[in-house]
């Protein structure tokens, strides 16, 4: 009886959280480790022979080059950390700056060499899909958070019908991805009388192929052909990026608007009394105090965009080639189209490792800017 009285509160707490722990363990943690286990086998419907690192060797071409690539990414993070951590602790900032630049250049060299080696020897379809995923993730998150912040700050002002606009903002987010992608497929059609081509025609621009165009956006905008990473996403992928921005910007704006509501009005009144402009108030007060929310949105957003699948699967076309084959499409193709479960699991493990590196980089970048008070 004394035991029950002493530990009744902890036992009650564990009983309350046990359903959530069981569900997360069963459907969240277990699949990760089981996928890791599958990645070491030749798995087609039924488990085949043990392959060891053969799947990883086929994907990456050279496994040490992959770890060298990850090391280069970590060095890139270290270069920023060195500058942000020590620039104010030493009188000679130029020395810290020089050290950061050296680490940065070494990291770029390592990343370039290791990546080139993997492209030559490995599965270039999967490796290129990582680049396409980076394009999609970077541009989508940048515009979603940026536009969401501007919209939230605008709605935070005293506007008539503010609740109506808040409701409208959530419509894209709650729209089923397949239905929204089907509508965008029509809007971004290649015919001259498609909705978007008719719209840009009013401004004197020529019709575009949109989802059917695999040319890099740099070639379309500037008329120059650039090979490699700097070429940018294809016009087809840009169309998918626009859909991603459309679907999530309103959701981010609502979350940021909720964050704005907890900022004390006294700060804005004091800034106004000091003669600060609205732009200065936005940069010096609003953005710093919203940094924890922005960090959360960017971290979860990057992870979600690296897992984007539904709308890209619906919007992809054969004319665009593999320029829309982000990593989830590539994994799905091996898992479902080619029935290579072990190979697809290995690709998933590689993506899991890269996502963790991405999470570390965001934490290092935002850690000194976070203000939870």
Residues 282 and 169 occupy one common structural domain: yes
Which of 55, 62, 61, 58 shows the shortest CA–CA distance to 38? Answer: 55
Tens digit of pLDDT at every position of the chain (373 positions): 565 666 677 777 888 888 888 888 887 788 878 877 878 877 776 666 777 788 899 999 999 999 999 999 999 999 988 888 887 777 777 888 898 999 999 999 999 999 999 999 999 999 999 999 999 999 999 999 999 988 888 888 777 777 777 788 888 888 888 899 999 999 998 888 888 888 888 888 888 899 998 999 988 888 888 887 888 899 999 999 999 999 999 999 989 988 888 888 888 888 888 888 878 888 888 888 888 888 888 888 888 888 889 999 999 988 888 999 999 999 999 888 778 888 988 999 999 999 889 888 888 887 766 554 4
Contact 315, 181 (CB under 8 A): yes
Distance CA 178, CA 176 (A): 6
Estimate the crossing angle of helix 63-86 against helix 93-121, to 10 degrees.
160
Q: How many residues does the chain have?
A: 373
Query: How far is the C-alpha of 351 from the C-alpha of 359, rounded, in Å?
Result: 12
Residue 326: predicted pLDDT: 93
Establish if 312 belongs to a structural domain.
yes
Write down the H helix ranges in the chain.
Answer: 2-24, 30-38, 54-60, 63-86, 93-121, 124-156, 162-174, 177-187, 195-201, 217-222, 235-260, 265-273, 278-281, 287-289, 291-306, 310-315, 327-332, 341-366
Question: Does 372 fall in a domain?
Answer: no
Answer yes or no: are the C-beta atoms of 267 and 166 closer than 8 Å: no
Domain-located, residue 167: yes
- Cα–Cα distance between 236 and 254 in angstroms, integer? 29
Tokens (6 digits) for 108: 């770029």
Q: What's the rounded Cα separation, in Å, for the pair 104 and 250?
A: 36
Please report whether residue 337 resides in a domain: yes
The rounded distance, in Å, linking the Cα atoms of 195 and 312 is 20
Same domain, 104 and 175: no
The answer to whether residue 43 is domain-embedded is: no
Domain-located, residue 201:
yes
Q: Are residues 267 and 359 in the same domain?
A: yes
What sign for the dihedral angle of Cα 126, 325, 30, 21? Answer: positive
Shared domain for 117 and 140, answered yes or no, is no
**Are 301 and 155 found together in one domain?**
yes
Strand-pair category, 41-44 with 46-50 = antiparallel
Structural domain count of the chain: 2
The per-residue pLDDT for 372 is 47
Identify the pLDDT of residue 132.
94
Token pair 């239905």 is found at: 179
Q: Is residue 49 part of a domain?
A: no
Of residues 170, 314, 342, the one with CA closest to residue 236: 314
Close Cβ partners of 103 (under 8 Å, ≥ 6 residues apart)? 75, 78, 79, 82
Answer yes or no: do 223 and 138 share one domain: yes
Residue range 322-365, pLDDT digits in tens: 999 999 999 999 888 778 888 988 999 999 999 889 888 888 88
User: Tokens representing 314?
Assistant: 């619906």
My answer on whether 209 and 290 are in the same domain is yes
Same domain, 129 and 263: yes
Instruction: Clarify whether residues 94 and 143 are in a common domain.
Output: no
Q: Which of 121, 137, 172 is the last residue of a domain?
A: 121
Q: For residues 279 and 285, what is the distance between their CA atoms, to the nearest angstrom? A: 10
Same domain, 217 and 77: no
The pTM of the full predicted model, rounded to 2 decimals, is 0.85
Distance, CA of 59 to CA of 165 (rounded, Å): 47
- The predicted pLDDT at position 195 comes to 85
Examine the fold and report which residue of 121, 155, 171 is the final residue of a domain before the chain moves on.
121
Question: Are the beta carbons of 364 and 295 closer than 8 angstroms?
Answer: no
What are 255's two structure tokens? 């979350």
Domain of 320 in residue numbering reads as: 123-366
User: Tell me: the pLDDT tens digits for 109-137?
Assistant: 999 999 999 999 999 999 999 999 999 99
Do 286 and 322 reside in the same domain of the chain?
yes
pLDDT of residue 246: 93
17 SS3 class: helix
- pLDDT at residue number 37: 82
Residue 197 in any domain: the answer is: yes
Q: Which residues contact 298 (CB under 8 A, 6 or more apart)?
A: 141, 145, 362, 366
Are the CB atoms for 327 and 305 separated by under 8 Å?
Answer: no
Distance CA 18, CA 11 (A): 10
My answer on whether 111 and 140 are in the same domain is: no
- The domain that holds 158 is classified in CATH as 1.10.3720.10
Q: Please report where in the chains the tokens 């969401």 appear, as a residue.
A: 148
Q: What's the rounded Cα separation, in Å, for the pair 31 and 336? A: 17
């Amino acid at each position: 009886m004394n035991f029950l009285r002493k530990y009744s509160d902890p036992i009650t707490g564990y009983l309350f959280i046990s359903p959530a722990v069981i569900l997360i363990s069963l459907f969240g943690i277990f699949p990760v480790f089981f996928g890791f286990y599958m990645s070491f086998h030749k798995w087609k419907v039924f488990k085949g022979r043990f392959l060891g690192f053969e799947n990883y060797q086929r994907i990456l071409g050279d496994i040490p080059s992959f770890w060298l690539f990850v090391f280069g990414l970590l060095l890139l993070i270290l270069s920023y950390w060195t500058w942000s951590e020590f620039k104010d602790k030493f009188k000679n900032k130029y020395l810290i700056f020089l050290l950061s630049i050296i680490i940065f250049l070494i990291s770029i060299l390592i990343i370039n060499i290791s990546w080139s080696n993997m492209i030559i020897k490995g599965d270039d379809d999967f490796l290129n899909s990582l680049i396409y995923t980076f394009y999609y993730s970077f541009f989508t998150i940048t515009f979603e958070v940026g536009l969401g912040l501007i919209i939230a700050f605008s709605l935070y002002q005293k506007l008539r019908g503010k609740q109506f606009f808040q409701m409208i903002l959530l419509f894209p987010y709650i729209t089923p991805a397949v239905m929204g992608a089907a509508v965008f497929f029509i809007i971004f059609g290649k015919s001259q009388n498609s909705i978007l081509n008719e719209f840009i025609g009013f401004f004197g621009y020529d019709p575009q192929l949109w989802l059917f165009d695999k040319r890099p956006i740099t070639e379309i905008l500037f008329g120059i052909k650039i090979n490699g990473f700097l070429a940018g996403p294809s016009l087809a992928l840009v169309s998918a990026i626009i859909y991603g921005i459309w679907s999530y910007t309103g959701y981010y704006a609502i979350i940021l608007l909720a964050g704005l509501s907890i900022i004390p009005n006294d700060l804005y009144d004091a800034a106004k009394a000091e003669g600060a402009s609205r732009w200065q108030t936005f940069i010096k007060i609003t953005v710093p105090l919203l940094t924890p929310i922005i960090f959360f949105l960017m971290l979860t957003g990057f992870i979600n965009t690296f897992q984007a699948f539904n709308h890209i699967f619906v919007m992809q076309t054969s004319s665009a080639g593999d320029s829309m084959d982000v990593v989830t499409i590539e994994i799905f193709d091996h898992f479902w189209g080619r029935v290579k479960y072990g190979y697809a699991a290995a690709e998933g493990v590689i993506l899991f490792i890269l996502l963790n590196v991405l999470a570390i980089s965001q934490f290092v970048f935002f850690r000194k800017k976070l203000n939870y008070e």
